[in-house]
Amino acid sequence: MDIDVYTVALQIINTLILFLILRFLLFKPVTEFLNKRQTTIKNAMDKAERDLVEAAQIKADYELKLQEARVEARGIIDTATKQGQKRQDEIVHEARSDALRIRERAAADVETQKDQALAYLRDHVAEMAVSAAGIIIDQQLDNESHKHLVDRFVERMGGSDEK
């Protein structure tokens, strides 16, 4: 074998050409592509992580709000129930007192009516007695039957009056 300057030079040039072509064709684009993909994946993962943290934050917020809303709702229901209970009591109480008042008035009315009726009767008993006496007198009854009739009449009136 001989050391041949031409061949050495040619081989150096060949290697340099191959290096430049491979760098242009293979190493540069693939490395750039891989880096880009790495960046893309890293970004996506970072974003996913951020989103996850954010989602957890939002969830915690909502849970807090929900808890607050629950407490508030319970409060409202309690208040409403209390109010309703109070109102119910009031209504029942009112109804009771109304009923009592109505009954009292009705009783008083009945009493008044009864009194009126009695007074009326008393007023008219004499009149009726007189007219009845007139009728009897017209029939010219004897004293005894006359008296007997009047007595019976009065008695009957009184009897009905007692009832």
Q: Which residues bind another protein (CB under 8 A)?
A: 1-4, 6-12, 14-19, 21-23, 25-31, 33-34, 37
Smallest gap from residue 3 Cβ to another protein (A): 6
The SS3 call for residue 141 is coil
Q: Do 133 and 150 contact (CB within 8 A), yes or no?
A: yes
Nearest CB to another protein, comparing residues 8 and 154: 8
Q: Which sign, positive or negative, has the C-alpha torsion 15, 17, 23, 25?
A: negative
Nearest CB to another protein, comparing residues 7 and 83: 7
Tokens representing 155 are 């008695």
Smallest gap from residue 24 Cβ to another protein (A): 9
d(CA 148, CA 154): 10
Nearest CB to another protein, comparing residues 2 and 127: 2
Smallest gap from residue 8 Cβ to another protein (A): 5
Q: Where are the beta strands (DSSP E) in 53-159?
A: none
Q: Do 150 and 129 contact (CB within 8 A), yes or no?
A: yes
Closest to 47 measured CA to CA, from 39, 37, 58, 36: 39
Smallest gap from residue 47 Cβ to another protein (A): 17
Nearest CB to another protein, comparing residues 14 and 139: 14
